[in-house]
Amino acid sequence: MFNKQIELDFGLFILEADLFDTAIARKFSENLPYTVSLMQWGKELYGSIGTDLGEENPVPKIPPGGIAYTNNGDYLCIFFGQTPAWAVEHIGNIIGDQWLRLNEGQSISSVIVRAKKKD
C-alpha cells in the first residue's frame, strides 16, 4: 500500500500532508523534492514543478487543504478556499487544519516539497 507523507516548507512554517494512492500522486512522489516558485490566485497557491505527470482523473472541486496537480502548466496547486479554474488531479491533503496557516495573510512566494522524514 502506498502511504506517502510530505512536508510543504514555506520558510516561515512547515505543513504536513498525505498523498493519495493514485498514479499521479505516485509520479509526483517519485520526483521529490521540488522547489516551486508560487503565485497566488484567491485562496490558492500554485507554481510549476517543471514535469508533466500526465492526467488520470481530474476533478472540478478541491477541499480547503487539498493538494492538486494539473498538466496544464505542470502546476502544483495548494488550495485553502479557492475553487480550481479548471479540473485538476487531487493528489493529497494537508493534515488536519494545518492549512489554516495559509489564511494568515503572509506573503508566500515559494515552497519546498519533500518527503517527510521518518520519526
Cα atoms in the 13 Å half-sphere on the side-chain side of 2: 16
Residue-wise pLDDT for 60-82, tens only, equals 999 999 999 999 999 999 999 99
94: β partners = 17
| Predicted local distance difference test score (pLDDT) of residue 105 | 84
Which domains occur in the chain, in start order? 4-115 (2.40.100.20)
What pTM was estimated for this model as a whole?
Answer: 0.95
CA–CA dist 80, 71 (Å, integer)? 20
| Predicted local distance difference test score (pLDDT) of residue 106 | 85
Q: How confident is the model at residue 119 (pLDDT cuts 50, 70, 90)?
A: low
Q: The cell 521540488 sits on which residue?
A: 34
Average pLDDT for the chain: 95
Kindly provide the residue ranges of all beta strands, DSSP E only, lying in 1-119, ordered along the sequence. Answer: 4-9, 14-19, 34-37, 39-40, 44-48, 66-70, 75-79, 89-94, 110-115
- Average pLDDT, stretch 39-67? 97
